[in-house]
Structure 1
Amino acid sequence: MATRCSSAIRTFSRTCRAATRPRVFAGPSRCLTTEAAASSSTSAPPPPADPKLNKIVDDISGLTLLQAADLVTLLKSRLNIQEIAMPAAAPAAAPAAAPAEESEAEKPKEKTVFNVKLEAFDAAAKPKIIREVKAMVPNLTLIEAKKFVESLPKVLKEGVSKDDAEKLKKTFTDLGATVTLE
Protein backbone atom coordinates (compact mmCIF):
# COMPACT_ATOMS: atom_id res chain seq x y z
CA MET A 1 0.00 0.00 0.00
CA ALA A 2 2.80 2.35 0.86
CA THR A 3 4.49 1.80 -2.51
CA ARG A 4 1.30 2.67 -4.37
CA CYS A 5 0.89 5.86 -2.42
CA SER A 6 4.48 6.91 -2.87
CA SER A 7 4.34 6.31 -6.62
CA ALA A 8 1.12 8.31 -6.86
CA ILE A 9 2.68 11.17 -4.90
CA ARG A 10 5.76 11.18 -7.15
CA THR A 11 3.60 11.29 -10.27
CA PHE A 12 1.52 14.12 -8.85
CA SER A 13 4.57 16.13 -7.85
CA ARG A 14 6.10 15.76 -11.31
CA THR A 15 2.99 17.12 -12.96
CA CYS A 16 2.85 20.02 -10.54
CA ARG A 17 6.51 20.93 -11.15
CA ALA A 18 5.99 20.74 -14.90
CA ALA A 19 2.98 23.03 -14.65
CA THR A 20 4.80 25.66 -12.56
CA ARG A 21 7.90 25.79 -14.79
CA PRO A 22 7.89 28.63 -17.26
CA ARG A 23 7.70 27.38 -20.83
CA VAL A 24 10.18 28.70 -23.28
CA PHE A 25 9.14 28.75 -26.91
CA ALA A 26 12.07 27.50 -28.91
CA GLY A 27 10.53 28.21 -32.28
CA PRO A 28 9.34 25.82 -34.94
CA SER A 29 11.11 22.54 -35.21
CA ARG A 30 13.39 21.80 -38.09
CA CYS A 31 10.81 19.51 -39.70
CA LEU A 32 8.16 22.18 -39.60
CA THR A 33 10.54 24.69 -41.12
CA THR A 34 11.29 22.47 -44.11
CA GLU A 35 7.60 21.64 -44.57
CA ALA A 36 6.68 25.31 -44.41
CA ALA A 37 9.39 26.20 -46.92
CA ALA A 38 8.31 23.41 -49.24
CA SER A 39 4.66 24.36 -49.08
CA SER A 40 5.37 28.04 -49.66
CA SER A 41 7.62 27.34 -52.66
CA THR A 42 5.07 25.11 -54.41
CA SER A 43 1.54 26.21 -55.00
CA ALA A 44 -0.29 23.20 -53.63
CA PRO A 45 -4.07 23.28 -53.84
CA PRO A 46 -5.82 23.82 -50.53
CA PRO A 47 -7.04 20.67 -48.83
CA PRO A 48 -10.65 19.77 -49.54
CA ALA A 49 -13.12 21.11 -47.03
CA ASP A 50 -15.29 17.99 -47.06
CA PRO A 51 -14.55 15.86 -43.97
CA LYS A 52 -15.46 12.70 -45.87
CA LEU A 53 -12.77 13.45 -48.45
CA ASN A 54 -10.27 14.27 -45.69
CA LYS A 55 -10.95 10.86 -44.14
CA ILE A 56 -10.45 9.10 -47.49
CA VAL A 57 -7.16 10.94 -48.06
CA ASP A 58 -5.98 10.01 -44.58
CA ASP A 59 -6.90 6.36 -45.12
CA ILE A 60 -5.14 6.19 -48.49
CA SER A 61 -2.00 7.89 -47.22
CA GLY A 62 -1.77 5.24 -44.49
CA LEU A 63 -1.66 2.35 -46.99
CA THR A 64 1.46 0.43 -47.93
CA LEU A 65 2.60 0.32 -51.55
CA LEU A 66 1.15 -3.15 -52.10
CA GLN A 67 -2.17 -2.13 -50.61
CA ALA A 68 -2.21 1.00 -52.79
CA ALA A 69 -1.54 -1.09 -55.90
CA ASP A 70 -4.36 -3.46 -54.93
CA LEU A 71 -6.62 -0.46 -54.36
CA VAL A 72 -5.85 0.85 -57.86
CA THR A 73 -6.62 -2.49 -59.53
CA LEU A 74 -9.81 -2.87 -57.50
CA LEU A 75 -10.98 0.62 -58.44
CA LYS A 76 -10.18 0.00 -62.11
CA SER A 77 -12.18 -3.23 -62.13
CA ARG A 78 -15.12 -1.86 -60.14
CA LEU A 79 -15.35 1.39 -62.11
CA ASN A 80 -14.61 -0.38 -65.42
CA ILE A 81 -11.58 1.79 -66.20
CA GLN A 82 -9.45 0.48 -69.03
CA GLU A 83 -5.69 0.72 -69.22
CA ILE A 84 -4.57 3.42 -71.62
CA ALA A 85 -1.04 3.15 -72.88
CA MET A 86 0.69 6.49 -72.85
CA PRO A 87 2.34 7.27 -76.17
CA ALA A 88 6.08 7.08 -75.89
CA ALA A 89 8.67 8.69 -78.08
CA ALA A 90 9.39 6.04 -80.68
CA PRO A 91 11.38 5.94 -83.90
CA ALA A 92 9.54 6.63 -87.15
CA ALA A 93 9.70 2.94 -88.16
CA ALA A 94 7.33 1.88 -85.37
CA PRO A 95 4.12 3.24 -86.98
CA ALA A 96 4.93 1.40 -90.21
CA ALA A 97 5.10 -1.90 -88.32
CA ALA A 98 1.65 -1.39 -86.77
CA PRO A 99 -0.39 -2.29 -89.93
CA ALA A 100 1.53 -5.53 -90.28
CA GLU A 101 0.70 -6.42 -86.69
CA GLU A 102 -2.95 -5.58 -87.28
CA SER A 103 -3.15 -7.89 -90.31
CA GLU A 104 -1.62 -10.69 -88.22
CA ALA A 105 -4.13 -10.03 -85.45
CA GLU A 106 -7.03 -10.16 -87.92
CA LYS A 107 -6.06 -13.63 -89.11
CA PRO A 108 -7.69 -16.34 -87.02
CA LYS A 109 -5.10 -18.10 -84.93
CA GLU A 110 -4.42 -21.62 -86.05
CA LYS A 111 -5.71 -24.15 -83.59
CA THR A 112 -2.96 -26.31 -82.07
CA VAL A 113 -4.87 -28.40 -79.52
CA PHE A 114 -7.69 -30.70 -80.60
CA ASN A 115 -10.27 -33.07 -79.15
CA VAL A 116 -10.69 -36.28 -81.12
CA LYS A 117 -14.35 -37.27 -81.22
CA LEU A 118 -15.51 -40.69 -82.40
CA GLU A 119 -18.81 -40.10 -84.22
CA ALA A 120 -19.86 -43.37 -85.87
CA PHE A 121 -18.51 -46.65 -87.27
CA ASP A 122 -19.32 -49.50 -89.62
CA ALA A 123 -20.95 -52.48 -87.93
CA ALA A 124 -18.44 -54.85 -89.49
CA ALA A 125 -15.51 -52.87 -88.05
CA LYS A 126 -16.87 -52.78 -84.48
CA PRO A 127 -14.45 -55.38 -82.98
CA LYS A 128 -11.40 -53.65 -84.51
CA ILE A 129 -12.52 -50.26 -83.22
CA ILE A 130 -13.16 -51.66 -79.72
CA ARG A 131 -9.63 -53.13 -79.67
CA GLU A 132 -8.12 -49.85 -80.87
CA VAL A 133 -10.03 -47.85 -78.22
CA LYS A 134 -8.88 -50.29 -75.53
CA ALA A 135 -5.28 -49.95 -76.68
CA MET A 136 -5.51 -46.17 -76.76
CA VAL A 137 -7.14 -45.45 -73.41
CA PRO A 138 -5.08 -46.75 -70.47
CA ASN A 139 -6.77 -48.73 -67.68
CA LEU A 140 -9.78 -49.51 -69.86
CA THR A 141 -11.12 -53.05 -69.83
CA LEU A 142 -12.57 -54.74 -72.89
CA ILE A 143 -16.11 -54.42 -71.53
CA GLU A 144 -15.62 -50.70 -70.82
CA ALA A 145 -14.18 -50.19 -74.31
CA LYS A 146 -17.25 -51.94 -75.80
CA LYS A 147 -19.62 -49.70 -73.80
CA PHE A 148 -17.61 -46.66 -74.87
CA VAL A 149 -17.87 -47.55 -78.56
CA GLU A 150 -21.59 -48.39 -78.31
CA SER A 151 -22.41 -45.03 -76.69
CA LEU A 152 -21.15 -42.86 -79.55
CA PRO A 153 -20.63 -39.97 -80.25
CA LYS A 154 -17.98 -39.53 -77.56
CA VAL A 155 -14.70 -37.71 -77.17
CA LEU A 156 -11.90 -40.22 -77.48
CA LYS A 157 -8.95 -37.98 -76.54
CA GLU A 158 -8.81 -34.38 -75.31
CA GLY A 159 -6.03 -31.83 -75.67
CA VAL A 160 -4.13 -33.66 -78.39
CA SER A 161 -1.61 -31.91 -80.65
CA LYS A 162 -2.46 -31.43 -84.31
CA ASP A 163 -0.10 -34.17 -85.54
CA ASP A 164 -1.35 -36.74 -83.04
CA ALA A 165 -4.96 -35.83 -83.78
CA GLU A 166 -4.39 -36.33 -87.50
CA LYS A 167 -2.76 -39.74 -86.86
CA LEU A 168 -5.69 -40.85 -84.68
CA LYS A 169 -8.18 -39.67 -87.27
CA LYS A 170 -6.35 -41.57 -90.03
CA THR A 171 -6.16 -44.74 -87.91
CA PHE A 172 -9.86 -44.79 -87.10
CA THR A 173 -10.88 -43.76 -90.62
CA ASP A 174 -8.87 -46.68 -92.01
CA LEU A 175 -10.74 -49.00 -89.62
CA GLY A 176 -14.11 -47.70 -90.85
CA ALA A 177 -15.04 -45.11 -88.23
CA THR A 178 -16.08 -41.49 -88.58
CA VAL A 179 -13.88 -39.15 -86.52
CA THR A 180 -14.06 -35.39 -86.13
CA LEU A 181 -11.47 -33.01 -84.71
CA GLU A 182 -12.81 -30.25 -82.49
Structure 2
Amino acid sequence: MVEKLAEQLVNLTIKQVNELAEILKKKYGIKPNVFQSLQINSNKNKDQENEKKQKNIFDIILKSSGSSKLSVVKLVKEITGKGLKESKDLVDNIPNTIKESVSKEEANILKEKFENIGAQIELK
Protein backbone atom coordinates (compact mmCIF):
# COMPACT_ATOMS: atom_id res chain seq x y z
CA MET A 1 0.00 0.00 0.00
CA VAL A 2 2.74 2.45 0.94
CA GLU A 3 4.70 1.51 -2.15
CA LYS A 4 1.67 2.25 -4.38
CA LEU A 5 1.20 5.58 -2.61
CA ALA A 6 4.86 6.45 -3.20
CA GLU A 7 4.51 5.56 -6.87
CA GLN A 8 1.43 7.76 -7.17
CA LEU A 9 3.22 10.67 -5.49
CA VAL A 10 6.20 10.41 -7.80
CA ASN A 11 3.96 10.43 -10.88
CA LEU A 12 1.98 13.53 -9.90
CA THR A 13 1.92 16.45 -12.31
CA ILE A 14 3.03 19.88 -11.12
CA LYS A 15 -0.59 21.00 -10.90
CA GLN A 16 -1.46 17.96 -8.78
CA VAL A 17 1.55 18.54 -6.51
CA ASN A 18 0.43 22.12 -5.95
CA GLU A 19 -3.13 20.98 -5.18
CA LEU A 20 -1.86 18.35 -2.73
CA ALA A 21 0.41 20.90 -1.04
CA GLU A 22 -2.52 23.28 -0.64
CA ILE A 23 -4.74 20.55 0.87
CA LEU A 24 -2.03 19.46 3.32
CA LYS A 25 -1.44 23.07 4.30
CA LYS A 26 -5.11 23.99 4.80
CA LYS A 27 -6.52 20.80 6.33
CA TYR A 28 -3.54 19.53 8.31
CA GLY A 29 -1.28 22.53 8.82
CA ILE A 30 1.60 20.75 7.10
CA LYS A 31 3.98 22.78 4.99
CA PRO A 32 5.15 20.16 2.53
CA ASN A 33 8.75 21.05 1.67
CA VAL A 34 9.05 17.58 0.18
CA PHE A 35 6.55 18.47 -2.52
CA GLN A 36 8.47 21.60 -3.39
CA SER A 37 11.50 19.37 -3.93
CA LEU A 38 9.42 17.10 -6.16
CA GLN A 39 8.31 20.13 -8.15
CA ILE A 40 11.89 21.38 -8.50
CA ASN A 41 13.06 17.92 -9.60
CA SER A 42 10.21 17.72 -12.08
CA ASN A 43 11.26 21.07 -13.56
CA LYS A 44 14.90 19.91 -13.74
CA ASN A 45 13.85 16.75 -15.57
CA LYS A 46 11.89 18.80 -18.10
CA ASP A 47 14.90 21.09 -18.61
CA GLN A 48 17.15 18.07 -19.19
CA GLU A 49 14.67 16.63 -21.71
CA ASN A 50 14.58 19.97 -23.54
CA GLU A 51 18.39 20.03 -23.68
CA LYS A 52 18.43 16.53 -25.16
CA LYS A 53 15.87 17.54 -27.77
CA GLN A 54 17.79 20.69 -28.62
CA LYS A 55 20.99 18.72 -29.17
CA ASN A 56 19.16 16.82 -31.88
CA ILE A 57 18.44 20.00 -33.84
CA PHE A 58 21.22 21.81 -35.67
CA ASP A 59 21.93 24.81 -37.84
CA ILE A 60 24.21 24.22 -40.81
CA ILE A 61 26.85 26.90 -41.15
CA LEU A 62 29.12 27.16 -44.18
CA LYS A 63 32.63 28.01 -42.98
CA SER A 64 34.56 27.63 -46.25
CA SER A 65 33.61 26.90 -49.84
CA GLY A 66 36.89 25.18 -50.61
CA SER A 67 38.27 25.06 -54.13
CA SER A 68 35.01 24.28 -55.94
CA LYS A 69 32.90 27.34 -55.22
CA LEU A 70 30.52 26.66 -58.11
CA SER A 71 29.70 23.18 -56.78
CA VAL A 72 29.03 24.63 -53.35
CA VAL A 73 26.72 27.30 -54.82
CA LYS A 74 24.80 24.57 -56.71
CA LEU A 75 24.46 22.47 -53.54
CA VAL A 76 23.32 25.49 -51.50
CA LYS A 77 20.75 26.23 -54.21
CA GLU A 78 19.53 22.63 -54.13
CA ILE A 79 19.30 22.48 -50.33
CA THR A 80 17.75 25.87 -49.67
CA GLY A 81 15.53 26.15 -52.73
CA LYS A 82 16.80 29.69 -53.26
CA GLY A 83 17.74 31.20 -56.58
CA LEU A 84 21.22 31.13 -58.05
CA LYS A 85 22.04 34.73 -57.04
CA GLU A 86 20.83 34.24 -53.44
CA SER A 87 22.78 31.00 -53.17
CA LYS A 88 25.93 32.68 -54.55
CA ASP A 89 25.49 35.52 -52.01
CA LEU A 90 25.31 32.97 -49.18
CA VAL A 91 28.53 31.33 -50.36
CA ASP A 92 30.28 34.68 -50.93
CA ASN A 93 29.51 35.90 -47.40
CA ILE A 94 31.12 33.16 -45.32
CA PRO A 95 30.48 32.19 -42.54
CA ASN A 96 26.80 31.93 -43.26
CA THR A 97 23.91 29.80 -42.05
CA ILE A 98 22.73 27.63 -44.90
CA LYS A 99 19.85 25.85 -43.17
CA GLU A 100 18.34 26.14 -39.69
CA SER A 101 16.73 23.66 -37.31
CA VAL A 102 17.47 20.40 -39.08
CA SER A 103 17.53 16.98 -37.46
CA LYS A 104 20.83 15.43 -36.49
CA GLU A 105 20.49 12.81 -39.22
CA GLU A 106 19.76 15.35 -41.95
CA ALA A 107 22.54 17.64 -40.68
CA ASN A 108 25.10 14.83 -40.91
CA ILE A 109 23.96 13.92 -44.43
CA LEU A 110 24.21 17.53 -45.60
CA LYS A 111 27.57 17.99 -43.89
CA GLU A 112 28.89 14.93 -45.71
CA LYS A 113 27.61 16.28 -49.06
CA PHE A 114 29.40 19.58 -48.51
CA GLU A 115 32.61 17.92 -47.35
CA ASN A 116 32.60 15.66 -50.42
CA ILE A 117 32.91 18.75 -52.63
CA GLY A 118 35.58 20.35 -50.43
CA ALA A 119 33.49 22.75 -48.32
CA GLN A 120 33.76 23.09 -44.55
CA ILE A 121 30.58 22.95 -42.50
CA GLU A 122 29.92 23.60 -38.83
CA LEU A 123 26.89 22.17 -37.04
CA LYS A 124 25.57 24.31 -34.19
* TM-score category (smaller protein): 0.5 to 0.7
The one-letter amino acid paired with 1:169 is K
1:118 aligns with 2:65: no
Q: Which structure is richer in relative contact order (CA contacts within 8 A, separation 6 or more)?
A: 2
Partner of 1:29: none
Structure number with the higher helix fraction is 2
1:141 is aligned to: 83
Q: Distance in 1 between matches of 2:97 and 2:88?
A: 15
| Between structures 1 and 2, the one with greater strand share | 2
Aligned-residue CA RMSD in angstroms?
A: 2.6
What residue identity is the alignment partner of 1:121? S
Q: Which residue of 61, 85, 96 maps to 1:154?
A: 96
Please give the per-residue CA displacement for 1:35-81, whole angstroms capped at 9, x wherever unaligned.
Answer: xxxxxxxxxxxxxxxxxxxxxxxxxxxxxxxxxxxxxxxxxxxxxxx
> Residue type of the partner of 1:118?
L
Between structure 1 and structure 2, the one with the greater Rg is 1
- Name the SS for the 2:101 alignment partner: strand
Letter of the 2:77 partner, please give it.
K
Aligned length: 82
Cα gap change, 1:115/1:85 in structure 2, threshold over 3 Å: closer, same or farther? farther
Unmatched 5+ residue regions in structure 1? 1-83, 89-97
Identity in percent? 29
Unaligned runs of 5+ residues in structure 2 are 1-30, 36-40
Displacement of 1:177 after TM fit? 0.3
